[in-house]
Amino acid sequence: MDWGENWLSPINARLRKLHPHLRAEELEACNAACQGAMRLGCEAVHTLLREGSASPSAGRLATIVRARYPWVNEDNLGRLLQQGVYYAAKVGGHGREA
């Protein structure tokens, strides 16, 4: 969920280096879970903004994301929040009426 060179790219090859014992289908499952957590985080930020939150709280985002992905840590929650707000601004603002 980090910005930079590997942003939005599959994690399979990088994860294989750290955990060479994982099978291809396990690596793919990990990648799918990470992509799902990222999508949910961005969708949750957009929803919070549409509901009128000027600045979505990390606590509210954590509750939403961890209900489905309890393994998401604080660093990644922070990245999800930053990326969600960035994309909301990029696609035309908060989704709130001005």
What residue spans define the domains of the chain?
A: 12-90
- The answer to whether the CB of 1 falls within 8 A of the CB of 38 is yes
- Measure the N-to-C terminal CA separation of the chain; round to a whole number of Å: 31
More confident residue, 26 or 1: 26
Q: What is the pTM of this model?
A: 0.78
Give the contacts of 46 (CB within 8 A, at least 6 positions apart).
84, 87, 88, 95
- The confidence score (pLDDT) of residue 68 equals 97
Per-residue pLDDT of 23-40, as tens digits, reads: 999 999 999 999 999 999
- The answer to whether the CB of 9 falls within 8 A of the CB of 54 is no
